[in-house]
């Protein structure tokens, strides 16, 4: 692994023999950190959002699979 730092970036290089799934997992985590670093959302805010998303999900699934037909 080679790590380079420029004035505005950090560049990381891996050998092609490394497991791409492990590298992708690390990259996904770093992307998550980047996207949420400036968020002002609290856990309570996220809980409300998740509850709103989940609300009505079963109804949509039943409709998609034509469960009541």
Q: For residue 3, is pLDDT > 90?
A: yes
On whether both 45 and 59 belong to a single domain, the answer is: yes
User: Is the pLDDT reported for residue 68 higher than 90?
Assistant: no
The Cα 18–Cα 5 span in angstroms is 21
- pLDDT, residue 11, reads 94
Q: Are both 24 and 47 inside the same structural domain? A: no
pLDDT tops 70 at residue 61: yes
Using the predicted structure, report yes or no on whether residue 69 has a pLDDT greater than 80.
Answer: no
pLDDT in tens, 5-41: 999 999 999 888 889 999 999 999 999 999 989 999 9
Q: pTM value?
A: 0.53
Domains in the chain, number: 2
Count how many residues are written for the chain. Answer: 69
Q: Is 66 found in the same domain as 47? A: yes
Whether residue 31 is found in the same domain as residue 1: yes
User: What is 8-43 written as a DSSP string?
Assistant: S-EEEE--TTS-HHHHHHHHHHHHHHHHHTT----H
Partners of 4 in the β-ladder: 11
Shared domain check, 45 and 34: no
Domain around 63: 41-69
């Amino acid at each position: 692994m080679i790590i380079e730092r420029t004035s505005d970036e950090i560049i990381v290089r891996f050998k092609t023999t490394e497991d791409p799934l492990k590298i992708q997992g690390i990259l996904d985590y770093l992307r998550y950190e980047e996207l949420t670093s400036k968020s002002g959302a609290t856990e309570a805010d996220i809980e409300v959002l998740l509850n709103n998303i989940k609300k009505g999900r079963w109804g949509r699934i039943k409709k998609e699979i034509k469960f009541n037909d």
